[in-house]
Amino acid sequence: MRTRRAAAAAPALPAPAGAGALGGCGSGSGTCATGAPDNPLPRRLAADVTGTGADSHLVALQRIADENGGNRASPGPGYEASVQYVAAVLRAAGYDVSTPAYPLAKRRRRGGGTHCQNVIAQTRTGDPARVVMAGAHLDSVRKGPGINDNGSGVAALLEIATRLGGAPLVRNAVRFAFWGSEEDDLQGSTHYVKTLSRGQRGNILLYLNLDMIASSNAGYFVLGGEGKTPAKSGPRGSAQVACALVERLAATGVVARTTTFDRESDYAAFIDAGIPAGGVWSGDRKNKSGKQARRWGGRPGEPFDPHYHTRRDRLDELNRTALDRFTRAVAGTVAHFAVSN
Ligand code: ZN
């Protein structure tokens, strides 16, 4: 059982029961020791998944936007079609899938609906009291199709989930989440975490967030473990999640930069609940610096994603190399924690 640091913003919740699974990093050794020698799953999964595999899901999400007024915003028909698509892919892969509803704030009720849905899928194997969780927001802004933001994160998770399968040989259960209303008020993930019981929250070992991982002028950012307050760094254990992501990205040939959480995506509710968190991100409207361009390639002095929140956030503007690297890194990280004691 770990001891939580005092955090003014965080409610008084118990530490996740299985936080011990996050050991093995940050103890001064300078490595996360992600290479579990007796279990081939992390390496196998990281090798099996590809950005090309994620691409078929991006094609589907682009088509859904094109058929629904150019966006997949929640609530709305493009979002509903996205929910149906994601749920069908996960069911076909053998997962336990649900689409729990959450209430919309009054001013977010467009088109008469009072509720919207997340998609949650869990493996049928692994200890359900020790859950490794990864999530991505499924909604777009109303101005565009949201293919980098955040079709990219959704597609990577679907590629990982389908290659992992619904009944893998794992110690811990793996749960995938696809959130609505991220672009409005984070209500999908906020309501989900808020309505879990104390015990259900305690069962979540960690939460890993994917939000924009194929920005055309990509950066390689890993969120978690950085910064002086728990709100910035995430709860204790977050550095280990980030460390694993950095190591897995290094294996794809890129040196990632760790950065702070800023409450701008669905990890916020998990951090508030005291759940260790990590995230990956390829950057949005901020410019890439000269130093970053030397490190990562691409165009210095230009935005990481010049099409952020516009109608040009389309399939043809993605960085496939970044998509491939992040997908492999997240796959290896999820598998690593799924087989950890
Ligand atoms: Zn986003």
Burial 284-297 (b: 16+ CB within 10 A, else e): beebbeeebbebbe
Distance 148 CA to ligand 1 centre (A): 8
Shortest CA distance to 165 belongs to which of 122, 106, 110? 122
pLDDT tens per residue, range 61-92: 999 999 999 999 999 999 999 999 999 999 99
Residue 168 vs residue 10, higher pLDDT: 168
Distance 189 CA to ligand 1 centre (A): 13
Question: Could you read off the pLDDT of 123-178 as tens digits, one per residue?
Answer: 999 999 999 999 999 999 999 999 999 999 999 999 999 999 999 999 999 999 99
Minimal CA–CA distance to 277: which of 213, 328, 339, 201?
A: 201
Q: Which CATH superfamily is domain 41-338 in?
A: Zn peptidases (3.40.630.10)
Question: Phi and psi at residue 327, in whole multiples of 5°?
Answer: -65, -45
Mean pLDDT of 109-122: 91
Residues 212 and 226: beta-carbon distance below 8 Å: no
pLDDT number for residue 112: 72
Burial 93-129 (b: 16+ CB within 10 A, else e): bbbebebeebebeeebeeeeeeebbbbbbbbebbeee
CA of residue 217 to ligand 1 center, whole Å: 16
Average pLDDT across the chain, whole number: 91
Asked if residue 315 lies in contact with residue 59, where contact means CB atoms within 8 angstroms, the answer is: yes
pTM: 0.91
Cα(182) to centroid of ligand 1, in Å?
7
Least-confidence region, from 5-9, 53-57, 202-206: 5-9
Active site residue 182: yes
On whether the CB atoms of residues 208 and 331 are closer than 8 A, the answer is no
pLDDT at position 33 is: 60
Provide the residue type at 144 as one letter. Answer: G
Q: What is the model's pLDDT at position 79? A: 97
**Cβ neighbour number for residue 48 with a 10 Å cutoff:** 16
Listed in sequence order, the residues at least 6 apart from 223 whose beta carbon sits closer than 8 Å to its beta carbon are: 209, 234, 242, 258, 259, 260, 261, 267, 277, 278, 279, 280, 281
> Which single residue is written with the structure tokens 């999400």?
61
- In the block, tokens 């508030």 appear at 272
pLDDT confidence of residue 38: 77
pLDDT tens for each residue of 229-275? 999 999 999 999 999 999 999 999 999 999 999 999 999 999 999 99
d(CA 30, CA 69): 50
Segment 11-48, tens digit of pLDDT: 333 344 344 456 444 433 345 666 555 789 999 999 99
How far, in Å, is the centroid of ligand 1 from the Cα of 212?
6
- Three-state SS for the chain is CCCCCCCCCCCCCCCCCCHHHHCCCCCCCCCCCCCCCCCCHHHHHHHHCCHHHHHHHHHHHHHHHHCCCCCCCCCCHHHHHHHHHHHHHHHHCCCEEECCEEECCHHHCHHHCCEEECEEEECCCCEEEEEEEEEEECCCCCCCCCHHHHHHHHHHHHHHHHHHCCCCCCCEEEEEEEECCCCCCCHHHHHHHHCCCHHHHHCEEEEEEECCCCCCCCCCEEECCCCCCHHHHCCCCHHHHHHHHHHHHHHCCCCCEEECCCCCCCHHHHHHCCCCEEEEECCCCCECCHHHHHHHCCCCCCECCCCCCCCCCCHHHCCHHHHHHHHHHHHHHHHHHHCCC
Q: Are strands 204-210 and 127-137 parallel, antiparallel or unpaired?
A: parallel
pLDDT tens column, 273-302:
999 999 999 999 999 999 999 999 999 999
Q: Which tokens in the block code for residue 339?
A: 């087989």
- Residues 244 and 224: their CA atoms lie apart, in Å, by 11
The domain ranges of the chain are 41-338
Instruction: Exactly one of 67, 80, 159, 182 is catalytic; name it.
Output: 182
The closest of 227, 304, 219, 223 to 268, measured between CA atoms, is: 223
User: Distance from the CA of 62 to the center of ligand 1, in angstroms?
Assistant: 16
